[in-house]
Structure 1
Amino acid sequence: MTTQDDLNTLIADIAHDINGFIGASVVDLESGMPLASSSVRPDFDLDVASAYNSEIVKNKMRTIEALGLDATFEDMLLTLDTQLHLLKMITPEMFIYLAADRQATNLALLRSAVNRHVAALNA
């Protein structure tokens, strides 16, 4: 069972490993509420981001089902002109959302750090 301390540690470890870290939250998929979150920018509202990203994940899961795909949603990478965003499933009910400055990191490093820390959490 994952504890609140585990989730806080997950976010802190990822923040430490990613240059340009802006913010991250571990989100309950059903409610869209963050279970743990951290941001280095006070204007980056992780409550709002968590809720909207929960809808993105749920819609993608519905799309997979509607297409009759025998597949499981693992992650989604979003590139903005100034930021990179990653949505990564931790369990079927919980995902991590992460935002980073696009000039300070790249998708490969971002994904690698998140995958490594999520795997350690699930071990």
Structure 2
Amino acid sequence: MASQEDLNNLITAIANDVNGFIGASIVDVESGMPLASASRRPDFDLEVASAYNSEMVKAKQKTIAALGLNANLEDMLLTLDSQLHLIKMLSPTLFMYLAADRQSTNLALLRASVNRHTAGFEV
């Protein structure tokens, strides 16, 4: 498993690469607890966001199973009028949650950065 330093370095690398970075966390799917997190906005509660996003991931995994799909969840995108939220699965039990200002970045750049930094990342 990746060390705490590895998780923190991953978030830092993405934060430095994504314009409009608001916050990110690496989350345990089952518990909803962030294993690492960083936010540039003190009012952006990553613990709450992590917990609720883990419920969305679990619901989508249940949907995939209920439909009998032979597929794995790769990522999920939530678009708000002012923000982009990306959930990227790192393993079946861990995901990265990232929020960015929609005026400062776009979906293609956000996904490219996350995919580049998580490619080959061992969890």
In the alignment, is the contact (CA less than 8 A) between 1:6 and 1:121 conserved in 2?
no
Task: Quote the offset at 1:121 in angstroms.
Answer: 1.8
Runs (5+) with no aligned partner, structure 2: none
In the superposition, the TM-score normalised over structure 1's length comes to 0.97
Q: Note if 1:82 corresponds to 2:82.
A: yes
Partner of 1:48: 48
Q: Output one character per residue of 1:19-53: Cα deviation in whole Å (capped at 9) or x when no partner.
A: 00000000001100000000000000000000000
Task: Quote the offset at 1:101 in angstroms.
Answer: 0.1
Partner of 1:107: 107
Moved over 4 A (4+): none
Task: Quote the offset at 1:102 in angstroms.
Answer: 0.1
In the superposition, the TM-score normalised over structure 2's length comes to 0.97
Partner of 1:118: 118
Number of matched residues? 123
Runs (5+) with no aligned partner, structure 1: none
Q: Percent identity?
A: 71
